[in-house]
Structure 1
Amino acid sequence: MSDNQIHIPRIVIAGTHSGCGKTTVATGLMGALTARGLKVQPFKVGPDFIDPTHHTAICGRSSRNLDPYMMGKDEVMRTFTSASEGADIAVIEGVMGLHDGIDGTGISSTADCAKILSSPIILVCDVKGMSRSVHALIMGYTGFDPAVTCSGVIYNRGGSERHRSMIRLEETIPSFGWIPRNDSLTVGSRHLGLAMAGEGEGMEKTSAVIEECCEIEGIIKAASAAPPLPMRREEGSSESGKVRIGVAMDQAFCFYYAENLTRLRRAGADLIFFSPMTNHLPDVDCLYLGGGYPELYAKALEESPCRQEIQKAAEGGLPIYGECGGLIYLSRSLSTDEGRYSLAGVVPADAEMKSRFQALGYIDGEVSHTSSSFTKGLSFRGHEFHYSTVYPDTDTRYAFTLKRGKGIMDQQDGIIAGETIAGYSHLYFTDRFAEELVAMATKYSSE
């Protein structure tokens, strides 16, 4: 192996479809490997924010998203190799079904990531109500794209010993586990997906089940058979600590891509984490308010003195960047089934929760307004998923125009209010986007 290569034992936990049990298997495997004393680096295919919180809690290492559409293939490789340094093994949880990608293609599918990373996969199959037919299913999934290497299968929601013996009769690829049906292993959910890490006990039960029911040594051997990868290290960092960026981080604001925070640090920011529910506004040069569940904590957010402090700071020219939940919080008010709550009042809009999702999918856009603090023409990609609607004033200005995605209104996103920009899009930061956000903070700090 050459000096510019790195060998990272790795395995992708893929599924036949959403709900087949791949999250249970992936998190349980992470826990079982960690319990054996291995340093496990977790990853999640796709734009999801919630599964990585469970991975991080289990492994003690920050889980990273791998999404070729948002990141590009080179960035998938760089993120994977950089994050995996010092780890004994990497476990990558897939998304949806193995071959399900954007717009019915294979782009950004689990299989797409597995091919980019030359990683073997283990296919999780829900075998409830099947015996011999599962082999036809497996042959279809594993033969559909010959470039995908399937090392074996884990059968989930299995029945009796007789059920197991019927399936064993005509197995075509190695079996790494038989997990009996156990409804207690399911994880609670809410309107944006699973419950966050720490909100239930389901995840903590899975590692013992995986240790008992799966061939852990065989999985490690399959992961170790993955070939070396080209090493893509981080670029040299800028001067650290040039500015202080406050990052809202609590139960209400918890949706952040780990790479976004890494890029801000690399661009020269010290990140100051605080809770708008329980803390005063810290002494910072810029605010980053991510997504989450402000609707579940609207009363606490309304009663906290932080909202008036943020409003006053915005009036004084503090740069603020808000995404989704951050947009709601920066609005004048939020209406829910429980009532109407006054919020920060920084952007000229009011928010209302709805009973079903209002937008879901990838976004692709650019900065389109010359009065925005970001450079006009700066492009970005990301994701949107929300159950709220924002009603802006008629004379509202928008920083972003989306080629793909819904945004706030008519593919416009990113309300401009002074030095504040707040929209529904969850952006995957490029280096340039992070550098421009840090530049805003630098300008503010020098004034």
Structure 2
Amino acid sequence: MKGFVLGGVSSGVGKTVATLAITRALSDAGYAVQPAKAGPDFIDPSHHEAVAGRPSRNLDLWLEGEEGLRRNYYRGDGDVCIVEGVMGLYDGDASSTAMVAEALGLPVVLVVDSSAGMESVAATALGFREYAASIGREIEVAGIVAQRAHGGRHEAGIRDALPDDLEYFGRVPPNDDLEIPDRHLGLEMGHEATLPTAALRDAAASLSAERLASIAREPPKPESAAESADRPDIDARIAVASDAAFCFRYPATIERFRERAEVLTFSPVAGDPVPNCDGVYLPGGYPELHAAALEDTGTLSELGQLASEGLAVFGECGGLMAMSQSLTTADGDRSEMAGILPADVTVHDRYQALDHVELEASAATLTAAAGDRLRGHEFHYSSADVDADARFAFETVRGSGIDGDRDGLLEYDSLGTYAHVHPESGAFDRFLESISSSGSNDR
């Protein structure tokens, strides 16, 4: 599958809207588009899926390594892959958009805010192209998409100012209907803020789908299969929380579960009972927006009781929040949670941590053997006030974790972390094998 990377000159330049407009343009031209996101983001991919009709792949060198990155890319399905970048093209020391483009050998289409410039847009693009050589990276900036550019003289001025070896792929015209609302953690999810079809098609009409498709390139194939490919199926049932409160999960995680075990889903917000299972995965999301419902439905209370009886529960970020004793929102509203972990969580107005992380297991736990290192990422607005006798699974080699030095609260046979990990880390294979070796939860 051929592809290209859509990089931005900075955060907030409109990469997601440009990605959606290009997806619409290529789809209308008859191409099956496989969307992807450079970096660990969960929100932008939800918008990709809403337009492309297939799950978006996360491509992150820190989380997956170069071979894992390529394996995840080739798990996609389509004619053309559009990889939306993260922040500005060169921003980030662990897995920048440029690093992802270089690892995959894909050309970059640069998104430039053109609302107040013409020749300067060309100068910006030229600078981004030349900068790659100055830092020793093999990055090909093939051309630009002019974000928020008008037609007529404005568009012609931008196009004519570009050097011959920087192509003009079109523009995304200014349109208030193409603004996606945001909140803490980023944009609203794709199902909450779907862009109007007419506005998206108007933007797509100002882009050259055929020229964009013509520059797409096929990355090198991975040299090795995933580690789990040689691992046997597991006689286990894994229940995954899936609703508006628990919506931050990688497609690759669910795929890994389904490759090796039986997957069941349930909605704590809707009050679904916990399925008869051997282990529960609570992904991240927005439990703070649904805290009252989570308290009232009784599902978390049931989960807390089952955990005390030995059911293994693994929660990441929002999952950790739901596993805590209580959750207090930024407005001061307090709700009881599952009561599995010895912590009380408070949501703040500003983010408390944002980084790629590395954790070292202090002892064997659900997702790692003693001494193992896991790479992941953290981004949360909450903090956890833990009991004095709380036990931790990990030392933080990089990142903030729960208390600045440690992450992974342990209680019963359960684990809650602020870090999100990718299945290429091996953590979810370890989780499945842990719950299988401990025996079924018969009830």
Q: TM-score range by the shorter chain?
A: over 0.9
Which residue of structure 1 lines up, in the alignment, with residue 186 of structure 2?
A: 193
Within the candidate set 415, 423, 436, 2:417 is matched to: 423
Separation (CA, whole Å) in 2 of partners of 1:241 and 1:361: 33
Native 8 Å contact 1:18 1:97 kept in 2: yes
- Give the secondary structure class of the aligned counterpart of 1:154: strand
- 1:263-274 superposed matches below 5 A: 263-266=256-259, 268-274=260-266
User: Are the aligned partners of 1:286 and 1:440 in contact in 2 as well (CA < 8 Å)?
Assistant: no
1:224-235 paired onto structure 2 within 5 Å? 226-227=217-218, 229-231=220-222, 234-235=225-226
Question: In structure 1, what is the equivalent of residue 86 of structure 2?
Answer: 95
CA distance in 1: counterparts of 2:366 and 2:238, whole angstroms: 19
Deviation at 1:78, TM superposition (A): 1.4
Q: How far off is 1:315 after superposition?
A: 1.1
Aligned residues between the structures: 431
What CA RMSD, in Å, does the superposition of the two structures yield over aligned residues? 2.0
2: CA distance between counterparts of 1:129 and 1:446? 63
Shift of 1:204: 4.2
In structure 1, distance between residues paired with 2:357 and 2:379:
10
Q: How big is each residue's C-alpha offset from its partner over 1:237-269, in whole Å with a ceiling of 9 and x where there is no partner?
A: 644461111111100001112222223333x22
1:126 maps to what in 2?
A: 113
Deviations 1:52-93 (A, max 9, x none): 111122222221111111211111111112324xx2111111
Question: With structure 2 as the length reference, what TM-score do the two structures score?
Answer: 0.92
State the distance in 2 between where 1:136 and 1:222 align. 22
Instruction: Note if 1:399 corresponds to 2:393.
Output: yes
Aligned residue number for residue 3 of structure 1: none
Q: Is 2:67–2:224's contact at 8 Å kept on the other side of the alignment?
A: no
Secondary structure, counterpart of 2:7 in structure 1: strand
Q: What corresponds to 1:358 in structure 2? A: 352
Q: Once the two structures are aligned, what percentage of the paired residues are identical?
A: 37
Q: Which runs of 5+ in 1 are unaligned?
A: 1-7
Aligned to 1:135: 122
Kindly indicate whether the alpha-carbon contact (under 8 Å) linking 2:324 and 2:340 is maintained by their aligned counterparts in 1. Answer: yes
Taking the aligned partners of 1:206 and 1:12, their CA distance within structure 2 comes to 23
**Residue-by-residue CA offset, 1:307-341 (whole Å, 9 max, x unaligned):** 12101110110011111111111111111215211
Q: What do residues 14-46 of structure 1 show as CA deviations (whole Å, max 9, x unaligned)?
A: 111111111111112123323444221111001
Pairing of 1:361-380 with structure 2 (within 5 A): 361-369=355-363, 374-380=368-374
CA-CA distance at 1:387 after TM superposition:
0.7
Flag structure 2 segments of 5+ consecutive residues without an equivalent: none
Deviation at 1:139, TM superposition (A): 0.9
Partner letter of residue 93 of structure 1?
E
Tell me whether 177-186 or 403-412 shows the greater mean CA deviation. 177-186
Aligned to 2:21: 28
Q: Which residue matches 2:290?
A: 297
Change in Cα spacing, 1:233 to 1:258, as seen in structure 2 (3 Å) is farther
**Which residue of structure 2 lines up, in the alignment, with residue 167 of structure 1?**
158
Alignment of 1:7-46 (within 5 A): 8-46=1-39
Matched, 1:321 2:314: yes
Per-residue deviation, 1:280: 1.0
Please state if 1:149 is matched with 2:140: yes
Q: Which moved more, 1:268-277 or 1:156-165?
A: 156-165
The letter for the 2-side match of 1:155 is A
Are residues 207 and 231 of structure 1, via their aligned partners in 2, closer, same or farther at CA, if it must alter by over 3 Å? farther
